[in-house]
Amino acid sequence: MDHRVLSRLAAPAVAALLALTTGCTGETVQGRPGASGVRDPFFPKAGNGGYQVEHYSLDLDYDPADGRLHATAVITARAEQGLSSFNLDLSGLEVEGVRVQGAGARFNRTGNELTVRPAEDLERGEVFRTEVDYSGRPKAVTDPDGSEEGWIVTPGGKGAVAVGEPVGSMAWFPGNHHPSDKATYDITVTVPRGYEAVSNGELRSRTEAGDGRTVFAWHSAEPMASYLATVAVGKFEVTTGRTASGIPLYTAVSPGEAAASRAVLARLPEMVEWGVGRFGPYPFSSSGAIVLPAHSLGYALETQTRPVFPGAPGSEELLLHELAHQWFGDSVSPESWKDMWLNEGFATYAEWLWSEDHGGPSAQQHFDAYLAGDTRVDREAGSDWGAFPPAAPPNPKEISASPVYGRGAMVLQRVRQEVGDEKFFALVRGWAADHRHGNASTADFTAYAEEKTGHDLSKVWDVWLYGKDRPKAPKHPAKAS
């Protein structure tokens, strides 16, 4: 993500009664309920226990004219324990029916929790399929920092976009909405003819239906955290192409933003190839961007393979930042929301490296500018980057605050200073390769960095990563330029 600027809650009574009586067997319960959250330090109710999702198949029908969504989610998961019931995260929307392994299942709603009771208990290790039919007008979710996510109607009401960091995906599909549970996706979107529907991964098909609607089928073969899933509906100008090494590109731009976006987006192929050179093989099957009408959101977001921008990207650095997340945040995803600096520190450092490699200030000069508060070199250098340690944000409101970005990048530059360029860039590439398509915590990174470089970096961690005081310049000369 870039630097943040900035109902229909239950089924009708009859449907609820039917839901509660469907599938009763009277058999002895062998399993136990799955937990209603994974106890994330900042979002304890996010995600659910007892199972891991392997695949989401989402069939969405959306008409911008009335704002209604009609949908079916098919969730293929593996039980990690015997389950008598399990939870899905879902905000708002009306659940019309639930089936597990093809049989009707009882369900009930409490807040953002959809509790499902299968007709028969699920055995540990069993792969099971849950189908949820639901509909309604999806809404935005307000983050602790006051920004909005979820399902956002774009200005003028002529389109919509779904964005999910950290928990907004529950506003448009039921799921296990925590980054520690990644899955593959098929997202099919039906919209009125004349509209485009853009999502993650590769466009498998675009079909003109006989009723004046168009059906778009998108496929994401690589694992994806649900907060990185997106759907954008609008009258976009679509361009396709390939990078020099053959990575497919798919870019959708709102017509009003096309002229202002052209120069920055023209560098996207070069940026992808530059990232390959710096960070290792591109981790996904496609790349691109979605440019929304101006002011649709208060931030850009690194939605997987296709970052979302609220209007024309204002700088190369912003586009590069979201692209770098494809390696750091999307492929290597945080174990918990407390580990956000592993996303944002790396992406900010990627901006510094891009500058260093393209005739601008070096990463060391950016580092020094932060220490001096020199906004001539880096406009973010005047931010309160030392307010708290990047590995320990004080509350969920601060996971997108300056220390997570700027001081997170400074941690990486301090490692580079300590170990030298050769070991540092081997570390960065190794981190992306060895944790590809997985999850990692801060503890994973610190242990990996010391093992990979052979250096004791405890002083870097103590002062820069975990230290509560604002760090000062290191006393010894830097080894890196």
Note down pLDDT in tens along the chain; length 481 residues.
764 333 322 333 334 433 443 433 334 447 999 999 999 999 999 999 999 999 999 999 999 999 999 999 999 999 999 999 999 999 999 999 999 999 999 999 999 999 999 999 999 999 999 999 999 999 999 999 999 999 999 998 889 999 999 999 999 999 999 999 999 999 999 999 999 999 999 999 999 998 999 999 999 999 999 999 999 999 999 999 999 999 999 999 999 999 999 999 999 999 999 999 999 999 999 999 999 999 999 999 999 999 999 999 999 999 999 999 999 999 999 999 999 999 999 999 999 999 999 999 999 999 999 999 999 999 999 999 999 999 999 999 999 999 999 999 999 999 999 999 999 999 999 999 999 999 999 999 999 999 999 999 999 999 999 999 999 988 765 554 4
Q: What pLDDT is attached to residue 477?
A: 52
Element (H, E) at 85: strand 83-89
Strand boundaries in 140-230, DSSP class E: 140-142, 148-153, 160-163, 183-192, 196-199, 202-208, 213-224
Q: How many CB atoms lie under 10 A from the CB of residue 379?
A: 12
Q: Compute the half-sphere exposure of residue 35: CA atoms within 13 Å on the CB side of its CA.
A: 13
- Three-state DSSP at 152 gives strand
pTM of the model: 0.93
Report the candidate in 459, 462, 11, 437 with the shortest Cα–Cα distance to residue 228.
437
Query: Minimal CA–CA distance to 23: which of 130, 122, 106, 132?
Result: 106
Edge-first strand order for the sheet with 196-199 is: 140-142, 148-153, 160-163, 231-234, 196-199
In three-state secondary structure terms, 351 is helix
Q: Which residues pair with 466 in a beta bridge?
A: none
Say which residues have a Cβ less than 8 Å from residue 73's Cβ, sequence separation at least 6: 56, 57, 58, 59, 130, 131, 132, 134, 173, 174, 175
Name the 3-class secondary structure at 423. Answer: helix
The structure tokens listed for 155 are 């200005």
3-state DSSP call for residue 151? strand
What is Dmax (Cα atoms) for the chain?
Answer: 73
The DSSP call for residue 352 is H
Structure tokens at 348: 């900010």
223 close to 184: Cβ distance less than 8 angstroms: yes
What residues have CB less than 8 Å from 336, skipping those under 6 apart? Answer: 40, 41, 42, 179, 180, 441
Residue 153 CB contacts under 8 Å (≥ 6 apart), including other chains: 64, 67, 159, 160
* Number of other residues whose CB lies within 10 A of the CB of residue 26: 4
Residue 188 in tokens: 């099919």
What the block records as the tokens of 153 is 């109607």
